[in-house]
A and B are shown apart, each in its own frame.
Chain A
Amino acid sequence: MIPIEHYLFLSSFMFVTGVVGVITRRNAIVVFMSIELMLNSANLVFVTFSSYLGNVTGQLVVFFVMAVAAAEAAVGLAIIIAIFRNKLTVNLDEINILKW
Protein backbone atom coordinates (compact mmCIF):
# COMPACT_ATOMS: atom_id res chain seq x y z
CA MET A 1 0.00 0.00 0.00
CA ILE A 2 1.25 3.48 -0.79
CA PRO A 3 1.76 5.62 2.33
CA ILE A 4 -0.04 8.94 2.23
CA GLU A 5 3.28 10.81 2.38
CA HIS A 6 4.08 9.80 -1.18
CA TYR A 7 0.97 11.47 -2.52
CA LEU A 8 1.70 14.56 -0.43
CA PHE A 9 5.32 14.73 -1.62
CA LEU A 10 4.18 14.42 -5.22
CA SER A 11 1.71 17.25 -4.87
CA SER A 12 4.24 19.40 -2.95
CA PHE A 13 6.69 18.91 -5.80
CA MET A 14 4.08 19.96 -8.34
CA PHE A 15 3.11 23.02 -6.32
CA VAL A 16 6.74 24.12 -5.98
CA THR A 17 7.28 23.57 -9.71
CA GLY A 18 4.26 25.75 -10.43
CA VAL A 19 5.60 28.50 -8.14
CA VAL A 20 8.95 28.35 -9.95
CA GLY A 21 7.15 28.77 -13.25
CA VAL A 22 5.08 31.72 -12.06
CA ILE A 23 8.15 33.51 -10.68
CA THR A 24 10.70 32.86 -13.42
CA ARG A 25 8.81 32.71 -16.70
CA ARG A 26 7.75 35.90 -18.44
CA ASN A 27 5.36 34.55 -21.05
CA ALA A 28 1.78 35.06 -19.86
CA ILE A 29 0.63 31.71 -21.23
CA VAL A 30 3.40 29.77 -19.49
CA VAL A 31 2.52 31.56 -16.25
CA PHE A 32 -1.07 30.48 -16.87
CA MET A 33 0.01 26.85 -17.32
CA SER A 34 2.02 27.03 -14.08
CA ILE A 35 -1.08 28.25 -12.26
CA GLU A 36 -2.96 25.25 -13.64
CA LEU A 37 -0.19 23.01 -12.23
CA MET A 38 -0.62 24.57 -8.78
CA LEU A 39 -4.40 24.14 -8.93
CA ASN A 40 -3.92 20.50 -9.88
CA SER A 41 -1.55 19.84 -7.01
CA ALA A 42 -4.09 21.28 -4.56
CA ASN A 43 -6.79 19.11 -6.14
CA LEU A 44 -4.57 16.05 -5.70
CA VAL A 45 -4.24 16.77 -1.97
CA PHE A 46 -8.02 17.13 -1.67
CA VAL A 47 -8.65 13.79 -3.38
CA THR A 48 -5.89 12.08 -1.37
CA PHE A 49 -7.33 13.11 1.98
CA SER A 50 -10.84 12.39 0.77
CA SER A 51 -9.87 8.82 -0.08
CA TYR A 52 -7.75 8.21 3.01
CA LEU A 53 -10.46 9.54 5.32
CA GLY A 54 -13.29 7.82 3.45
CA ASN A 55 -15.21 11.10 3.06
CA VAL A 56 -16.44 12.18 -0.38
CA THR A 57 -16.75 15.91 0.40
CA GLY A 58 -13.16 16.55 -0.69
CA GLN A 59 -13.95 15.25 -4.14
CA LEU A 60 -16.89 17.63 -4.37
CA VAL A 61 -14.55 20.52 -3.56
CA VAL A 62 -12.26 19.34 -6.37
CA PHE A 63 -15.29 19.40 -8.65
CA PHE A 64 -15.97 23.03 -7.73
CA VAL A 65 -12.30 23.96 -8.16
CA MET A 66 -12.35 22.48 -11.65
CA ALA A 67 -15.46 24.49 -12.57
CA VAL A 68 -13.86 27.72 -11.35
CA ALA A 69 -10.62 26.82 -13.17
CA ALA A 70 -12.51 26.36 -16.43
CA ALA A 71 -14.23 29.74 -16.05
CA GLU A 72 -10.87 31.29 -15.19
CA ALA A 73 -9.26 29.70 -18.26
CA ALA A 74 -11.97 31.05 -20.57
CA VAL A 75 -11.83 34.62 -19.25
CA GLY A 76 -8.08 34.72 -18.55
CA LEU A 77 -7.03 33.53 -21.98
CA ALA A 78 -9.55 35.90 -23.57
CA ILE A 79 -7.88 38.75 -21.66
CA ILE A 80 -4.41 37.58 -22.74
CA ILE A 81 -5.55 37.47 -26.37
CA ALA A 82 -7.12 40.93 -26.08
CA ILE A 83 -3.85 42.30 -24.64
CA PHE A 84 -1.93 40.64 -27.45
CA ARG A 85 -4.10 42.33 -30.08
CA ASN A 86 -3.45 45.74 -28.52
CA LYS A 87 0.23 45.46 -27.61
CA LEU A 88 1.43 42.60 -29.88
CA THR A 89 3.20 40.93 -26.98
CA VAL A 90 2.42 38.55 -24.14
CA ASN A 91 5.64 39.27 -22.27
CA LEU A 92 4.63 40.26 -18.76
CA ASP A 93 7.53 42.71 -18.40
CA GLU A 94 6.31 44.73 -21.35
CA ILE A 95 2.68 44.87 -20.20
CA ASN A 96 3.23 47.73 -17.76
CA ILE A 97 0.81 50.48 -18.76
CA LEU A 98 -0.70 50.51 -15.24
CA LYS A 99 2.73 51.36 -13.79
CA TRP A 100 3.05 55.02 -12.80
Chain B
Amino acid sequence: MLVEYIPLFLVIAFAIVFAFGTVFSSKIFGPQRPNPEKLSTYESGVQPVGTTHERMSVKYYLVAMLFIIFDLEVIFVYPWAVQFKKLYLDPSVGTTAFYAMLIFLVVFEIGYLYVYKKGGFKWD
Protein backbone atom coordinates (compact mmCIF):
# COMPACT_ATOMS: atom_id res chain seq x y z
CA MET B 1 0.00 0.00 0.00
CA LEU B 2 2.89 2.28 0.79
CA VAL B 3 4.46 1.39 -2.54
CA GLU B 4 1.93 3.57 -4.37
CA TYR B 5 3.22 6.63 -2.54
CA ILE B 6 6.89 6.19 -3.48
CA PRO B 7 6.61 8.59 -6.48
CA LEU B 8 5.01 11.16 -4.17
CA PHE B 9 7.84 10.85 -1.65
CA LEU B 10 10.36 11.13 -4.49
CA VAL B 11 8.75 14.37 -5.65
CA ILE B 12 8.77 15.77 -2.10
CA ALA B 13 12.42 14.76 -1.60
CA PHE B 14 13.38 16.29 -4.95
CA ALA B 15 11.58 19.53 -4.12
CA ILE B 16 13.34 19.83 -0.76
CA VAL B 17 16.77 18.99 -2.20
CA PHE B 18 16.28 21.38 -5.13
CA ALA B 19 15.04 24.28 -2.98
CA PHE B 20 17.76 24.03 -0.35
CA GLY B 21 20.42 23.02 -2.87
CA THR B 22 19.99 26.02 -5.14
CA VAL B 23 19.90 28.48 -2.23
CA PHE B 24 22.91 27.09 -0.39
CA SER B 25 25.06 26.21 -3.40
CA SER B 26 24.97 29.82 -4.54
CA LYS B 27 26.03 30.80 -1.02
CA ILE B 28 28.88 28.29 -1.08
CA PHE B 29 30.21 28.60 -4.63
CA GLY B 30 29.41 32.18 -5.53
CA PRO B 31 31.88 35.03 -4.86
CA GLN B 32 30.80 37.31 -2.03
CA ARG B 33 31.92 40.94 -2.16
CA PRO B 34 29.05 42.86 -0.58
CA ASN B 35 28.85 46.63 -0.39
CA PRO B 36 25.98 48.84 0.84
CA GLU B 37 24.85 49.63 -2.70
CA LYS B 38 24.45 45.95 -3.56
CA LEU B 39 22.65 45.13 -0.32
CA SER B 40 19.95 47.78 -0.76
CA THR B 41 16.46 46.41 -1.40
CA TYR B 42 16.10 47.41 -5.06
CA GLU B 43 19.66 47.80 -6.22
CA SER B 44 19.08 49.95 -9.32
CA GLY B 45 15.44 50.75 -8.64
CA VAL B 46 13.44 53.13 -6.53
CA GLN B 47 14.18 53.93 -2.92
CA PRO B 48 11.89 51.92 -0.61
CA VAL B 49 9.41 53.98 1.40
CA GLY B 50 8.31 53.04 4.92
CA THR B 51 8.41 49.57 6.42
CA THR B 52 7.26 46.26 5.00
CA HIS B 53 5.19 45.61 8.13
CA GLU B 54 2.03 47.38 7.05
CA ARG B 55 -1.37 46.23 8.18
CA MET B 56 -3.33 44.77 5.29
CA SER B 57 -6.76 45.82 4.18
CA VAL B 58 -9.67 43.75 5.43
CA LYS B 59 -10.76 43.21 1.83
CA TYR B 60 -8.20 40.40 1.48
CA TYR B 61 -9.74 38.62 4.45
CA LEU B 62 -13.17 38.64 2.82
CA VAL B 63 -11.72 37.05 -0.32
CA ALA B 64 -9.94 34.34 1.70
CA MET B 65 -13.11 33.60 3.65
CA LEU B 66 -15.21 33.24 0.50
CA PHE B 67 -12.49 31.01 -0.95
CA ILE B 68 -12.48 28.61 1.99
CA ILE B 69 -16.28 28.21 2.06
CA PHE B 70 -16.54 27.49 -1.67
CA ASP B 71 -13.48 25.24 -1.42
CA LEU B 72 -15.40 23.18 1.09
CA GLU B 73 -18.39 22.99 -1.23
CA VAL B 74 -16.22 21.54 -4.00
CA ILE B 75 -14.66 19.02 -1.60
CA PHE B 76 -18.12 17.67 -0.79
CA VAL B 77 -18.82 17.09 -4.46
CA TYR B 78 -15.81 14.75 -4.94
CA PRO B 79 -17.05 11.59 -3.13
CA TRP B 80 -20.50 12.08 -4.63
CA ALA B 81 -19.10 12.41 -8.15
CA VAL B 82 -16.88 9.33 -7.81
CA GLN B 83 -19.79 7.16 -6.67
CA PHE B 84 -22.54 8.75 -8.76
CA LYS B 85 -23.06 5.93 -11.26
CA LYS B 86 -23.07 3.26 -8.58
CA LEU B 87 -25.49 5.29 -6.50
CA TYR B 88 -27.81 5.79 -9.46
CA LEU B 89 -27.90 2.08 -10.27
CA ASP B 90 -28.47 1.18 -6.61
CA PRO B 91 -32.25 0.60 -6.30
CA SER B 92 -32.38 1.81 -2.69
CA VAL B 93 -30.86 5.20 -3.60
CA GLY B 94 -31.75 5.91 -7.22
CA THR B 95 -32.21 9.57 -8.00
CA THR B 96 -32.11 10.56 -4.31
CA ALA B 97 -28.38 11.20 -4.52
CA PHE B 98 -28.87 13.55 -7.45
CA TYR B 99 -31.58 15.57 -5.71
CA ALA B 100 -29.61 15.63 -2.44
CA MET B 101 -26.64 17.22 -4.17
CA LEU B 102 -28.98 19.57 -6.05
CA ILE B 103 -30.45 20.81 -2.75
CA PHE B 104 -26.94 21.22 -1.32
CA LEU B 105 -25.81 23.31 -4.28
CA VAL B 106 -29.00 25.40 -4.31
CA VAL B 107 -28.50 26.20 -0.63
CA PHE B 108 -25.00 27.37 -1.51
CA GLU B 109 -26.34 29.44 -4.39
CA ILE B 110 -28.54 31.34 -1.92
CA GLY B 111 -25.42 32.29 0.01
CA TYR B 112 -23.63 33.21 -3.21
CA LEU B 113 -26.48 35.49 -4.29
CA TYR B 114 -26.60 37.08 -0.82
CA VAL B 115 -22.90 37.90 -0.89
CA TYR B 116 -23.25 39.15 -4.47
CA LYS B 117 -26.14 41.46 -3.51
CA LYS B 118 -24.21 42.62 -0.47
CA GLY B 119 -21.30 43.62 -2.71
CA GLY B 120 -18.86 41.04 -1.35
CA PHE B 121 -17.32 40.43 -4.77
CA LYS B 122 -16.67 44.11 -5.48
CA TRP B 123 -13.10 45.16 -4.81
CA ASP B 124 -13.73 48.80 -3.88
- A touching B, CB within 8 angstroms: yes
Chain A residues in contact with chain B, CB under 8 A?
67, 70-71, 73-74, 77-78, 81, 85
For the complex of A and B, list the 10 residue pairs with the smallest distance between their C-beta atoms, beginning with the closest: A74-B65, A70-B72, A70-B68, A67-B72, A74-B68, A74-B69, A81-B61, A81-B58, A78-B65, A73-B68
Query: Measured between C-beta atoms, what is the minimum distance from B2 to chain A in Å?
Result: 12
A49-B58 Cα distance, complex, nearest whole Å? 41
Name the interface size band of chain B. under 10
Mark B47-70 against chain A: 1 for CB-CB distance below 8 A, else 0. Answer: 000000000001001000100110
> How many CB-defined contacts (below 8 Å) exist between A and B?
19
Query: Measured between C-beta atoms, what is the minimum distance from B109 to chain A in Å?
Result: 17
Chain B residues in contact with chain A, CB under 8 A?
58, 61, 65, 68-69, 71-72, 76
A67-B69 Cα distance, complex, nearest whole Å? 9
Q: Within 8 Å CB of B76, what residues of A?
A: 67
Name which residue of chain A comes closest to B73, CB basis: A67
Query: Measured between C-beta atoms, what is the minimum distance from B120 to chain A in Å?
Result: 12
